[in-house]
Amino acid sequence: MDSLFYSLLAVIAVSLLSLIGIFAISMDEKTLDKILFILVGFSAGSILGSAYFDLLPEAVELIEESITFLYIALGFVGFFFLERFIYWYHGHAHKSEIGKKTIIKKFVYLNVLGDGIHNLIDGMIIAVSFFLGKSVGITSTIAVMFHDLPQEIGDFGVLVFGGLTRRTSKNP
């Protein structure tokens, strides 16, 4: 029972880290516009860097190389078709009727879906690590926090760049 309690406590702590976007909301709009491209680049760079410099070499070391690259290819093809489906299904523009017209770019939906899957997997990793041991769980929670910090900041930048407003996380 202690493992379940500690894993829930750790997942709540990691979830509170996602509120880092509140700091961006407190900035004035001109400053946020200036750093928006930096946030998007930070997001893309941190994700690509962790994939190419950490995850892929480890996967090749643990699993046969041909199987690893087969899974990578299947992942690219799967997300390609997911992106095509979203473009096909959401082919119309979403516009705000209040004030100026805002178009929500389609990659926002992919970002939200990917972030949801990512957070679900993070929660499963934290829970399993606490069932392996308290020290393993604490270590995994700290690692997930350091991993999620740039990802959450970058996601905020991607969503604002995609057309969402700073004050809401839903369509304007």
User: What are 74-112's pLDDT values in tens digits?
Assistant: 988 998 888 777 666 655 444 444 455 567 777 888 888
Whole-number mean pLDDT of the chain? 78
User: Tell me, what's the pLDDT at 70?
Assistant: 92
Q: Residues 70, 63: contact at Cβ < 8 Å? A: no
Report residue 73 CA to chain centroid gap. 21
d(C-alpha 128, C-alpha 79), whole Å: 27
More confident position, 127 or 36? 127
What is the pLDDT at residue 97? 43
Q: In the block, which residue shows the tokens 């839903």?
A: 170
pLDDT at 171 over 50: no
- pLDDT > 80? residue 66: yes
Confidence of residue 28 (pLDDT cuts 50, 70, 90): confident
pTM: 0.59
The number of angstroms, rounded, from the C-alpha of 95 to the middle of its chain's C-alpha atoms is: 25
Mean pLDDT of the 127-152 span: 86
Whole-number Å distance between alpha carbons of 125 and 10: 11
For position 108, what pLDDT does the model report?
83
Max Cα-Cα span within the chain: 56
Enter the tokens of residue 86: 């979203």
In terms of average pLDDT, the best of 20-29, 46-55, 64-73, 84-93 is 64-73
Distance, CA of 134 to CA of 10 (rounded, Å): 11
Per-residue pLDDT band for 147 (boundaries 50, 70, 90) equals confident
